[in-house]
Structure 1
C-alpha cells in the first residue's frame, strides 16, 4: 500500500512539475509580448498617404505624418511606381524630391504635405497609376523601427466628393457679393 501511495505521489509531483514548466513558458511569452507592446507603443509611426487637402477641395496632396508618440529620425520613403499626379510637372517634381530626400526628424503629430493632383482630372486619366507601394523606414528612441510597407490605392477615394466647393471658396463668394453690395 505504501508503494502505491509513493507512486501516486511521484505522479502528482511529475504533473506539478510539468504544470509549473508550462506556467513558466506562458509567463515568459507574456513578458516578451508585454515588452514588445511597450517598445512599439514608444516608437514613432510614420505614414505616407494621398488624400484630399480639405473636404471638398478636389486637390489631392501627398502627406507624410508621424502619428506615433515619439520623434522619428532619418525617415526614408520608397514609392513604386514613382508618384505621378499628371496635373503639373512642378508638383510631380516637388513630390519626387520629397520622396527621395531623407527627413532628418519628424516630431509627433507633424504632418508634411505636397500638392499631388486635382482629383477629378486625375480619375479622368486612365494612363496614370492608381496604386503605389510605399515603404517607410525610420529610427526611434530605441533604434531602427521595423519598416512599414503598404499600398496606397487611389481607386478607394475615387467616389468621394472631391469637386464640391470648400467653405473657403464659399466665403470668398460671400465676400465678393458683399463687396458688390457696398458699391
Structure 2
C-alpha cells in the first residue's frame, strides 16, 4: 500500500512539475506579447497613399503621414513602379525625387503631400499604372521600425467623386450666372 501511495505521490509531483513548466512557458509568452504591444504602441506609423486633395477635388496627391504617437526618423520610401501621374514629365521627376529622398524626421500627425495628377485625366488614360507598392522604412524611439508595405490601387478611387467641379470651376459658374443676371432687364 505504501508503494502505491509513493507512486501516486511521484505521479502527482510530476504532473505538478509539468503544470508549473507550462505555466512558465505561458507566462514568458504573455510577457513577450505584452512587451511587443508596448513597443508597437510607442512606434511611429508612417502611411503613404494617393488620394483626392480635398472632398470634391479632382486633384490627386501623394501623401506621407505619421499616424503614430512618436517621431519617425530617417523615413525612406520605395515605390514600385515609379509614380507616374501623366500630367508632365517634370512633375513626375519631381515626385520621384521626393520619394527617393530620406525624410530626416516626421513628427506625430504630420502630413506631407505632393501633387500627383488630375484624377479625371489620369483615369481616362489606360496606359498609366494603377497599382503601386509602397514600402516605408523608418526609425522610432526604440530603433528600426518593422518595414510597412502598402498597396495603392487607384482603380479603387476611380468611382469616387473625382469629376466634380473644383472650387474654381464653381466660382466661374457663379460669375457667369451673375453676368447673365446683370444683363436681364429690371422688372
Superposition TM-score, scaled by structure 1 size:
0.91
Are positions 1:34 and 2:34 aligned together?
yes
Q: What is the aligned partner in structure 1 of residue 5 from structure 2? A: 5
Alignment check: 8 A CA contact 1:94 1:114 kept: no
> Residues 33-83 of structure 1, C-alpha deviation per residue, up to 9 Å, x if partnerless?
110110011010001110111111111000000010000011010111110
CA–CA separation in structure 2 for the residues paired with 1:3 and 1:132: 73
- Three-state SS of the structure 2 residue aligned to 1:156 is coil
Larger gyration radius, structure 1 or structure 2: 2
Which segment is superposed worse, 173-182 or 8-17? 173-182
Gaps spanning 5+ residues in structure 1: where?
none
Distance 1:162 1:70 in 2: 33
Q: How many residues align?
A: 182
Say which is worse superposed, 39-48 or 89-98, in terms of deviation.
Answer: 89-98
The 2-side partners of 1:29 and 1:7 are apart by 33
| Cα separation, 2, equivalents of 1:72 and 1:82 | 23
The 2-side partners of 1:40 and 1:120 are apart by 39
Counterpart in the other structure of 1:76: 76
Aligned residue number for residue 97 of structure 1: 97
1:162 aligns with: 162
Deviations for 1:13-39, whole angstroms, at most 9, x for unmatched residues? Answer: 100110110010001000001101100
Q: In the alignment, what sits opposite 1:136?
A: 136
- 1:143-166 per-residue CA deviation (whole Å, 9 max, x = no partner) reads 111111221111111111111135
C-alpha contact 1:59 1:119 (8 A) present in aligned 2: yes
1:88-126 per-residue CA deviation (whole Å, 9 max, x = no partner) reads: 223212211110111010000000000101111111111
1:133 Cα deviation (Å)?
Answer: 1.1
Residues 125, 178 of structure 1: CA spacing in aligned structure 2 closer, same or farther, 3 A cutoff? Answer: closer
Provide the TM-score with structure 2 as the length reference. Answer: 0.90
Higher mean C-alpha deviation, range 149-158 or range 96-105: 149-158
Instruction: Identify unmatched segments of 5+ residues in structure 2.
Output: none
Pair 174,123 (structure 1): closer, same or farther in 2 beyond 3 Å: closer
